């Protein structure tokens, strides 16, 4: 969730579920790029049939808007991973203030986090800083490290016009564009053996 823009708005609104209309406090950090409301609304409409009880991983979480939106809409739990200390602290504070159960924050670089023991997730939000081009590396780690359920869903946000190199098992499901951002939902489909 870090990347394209200088500074961030002071607040981000949760748009659906039990925390609907709650506001997330957002630190003023260069490069912090919260996923816009209309993108989140579209994404969570796509995910509505599969979100209840899902185990989620929000890599490069930034504000945590994607993961908190998932918790608000019935996800069983979300592991947030954010390397910036101020963003991670703000995320912890928002989770505590909202009394959002099931959210845990790891203050760590996403690549280092994925070197640990993999725990399978049903849904992963992959929105790394655009300038670092981390999609192929993080996707490979997710795929090879045991982080994905057999038919996991993976949300990928990237600059408009840029389709990251992703594992062959990740099949495109839906995509859209908003301003300078491309957002896409993939479904993991392992070949039959």
| Angle subtended at Cα 143 by Cα 2 and Cα 177, rounded to the nearest 5 degrees | 45
Q: For tokens 């190199």, what's the residue? A: 165
pLDDT of residue 132: 85
Nearest to 103 by CA among 192, 18, 12: 18
Structure tokens that stand for 145 in this block: 């490290």
pLDDT of residue 98: 95
Contact criterion met (CB below 8 Å) for 86 and 29: yes
DSSP codes joined into one string, 79-134: EEE---HHHHHHHHHHHHHHT-TTEEEE-S-HHHHTTS----EEEEEE---GGG--
pLDDT per residue, tens digit, the chain (193 aa), is 444 333 344 778 999 999 999 999 888 787 777 888 899 999 999 999 999 999 999 999 999 999 999 999 999 999 999 999 999 999 999 999 999 889 999 999 999 999 988 899 999 999 998 888 899 999 999 999 999 999 999 999 999 989 999 999 999 999 999 999 999 999 998 765 5
Would you state the pLDDT for residue 192? Answer: 56
Q: Tell me the C-alpha to C-alpha distance, in Å, between residue 81 and each of 11, 21, 62, 163, 168.
A: 20, 24, 8, 23, 25
| Domains defined for the chain, CATH in brackets | 11-188 (3.40.50.150)
- Residue matched to tokens 């992703």: 166
Which pLDDT score is estimated for 114? 97
3-state secondary structure of 161: coil
> DSSP state, 136?
H
Most distant pair of Cα atoms in the chain: their distance = 50
Task: Kindly give the residue spans of alpha helices, DSSP state H, lying in the chain.
Answer: 37-51, 65-72, 85-98, 110-113, 135-144
């Amino acid at each position: 969730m870090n990347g394209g823009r200088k500074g961030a708005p002071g607040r981000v609104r949760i748009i659906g579920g039990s925390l609907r209309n709650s506001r997330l406090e957002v630190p003023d950090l260069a490069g912090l790029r919260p996923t816009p409301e209309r993108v989140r609304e579209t994404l969570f409409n796509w995910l509505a049939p599969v979100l209840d009880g899902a185990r989620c991983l929000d890599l490069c979480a930034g504000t945590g808007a994607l993961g908190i939106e998932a918790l608000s809409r019935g996800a069983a739990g979300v592991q947030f991973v954010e390397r910036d200390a101020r963003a991670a602290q703000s995320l912890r504070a928002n989770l505590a203030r909202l009394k959002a159960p099931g959210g845990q924050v790891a203050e760590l670089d996403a690549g280092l986090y994925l070197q640990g023991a993999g725990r399978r997730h049903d849904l992963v939000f992959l929105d790394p800083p655009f300038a670092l081009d981390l999609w192929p590396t993080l996707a490979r780690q997710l795929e090879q490290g045991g982080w994905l359920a057999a038919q996991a869903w993976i949300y990928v946000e990237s600059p408009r016009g840029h389709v990251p190199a992703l594992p062959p098992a990740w099949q495109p499901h839906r995509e859209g564009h908003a301003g300078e951002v491309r957002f896409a939902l993939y479904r993991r489909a392992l070949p039959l053996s």
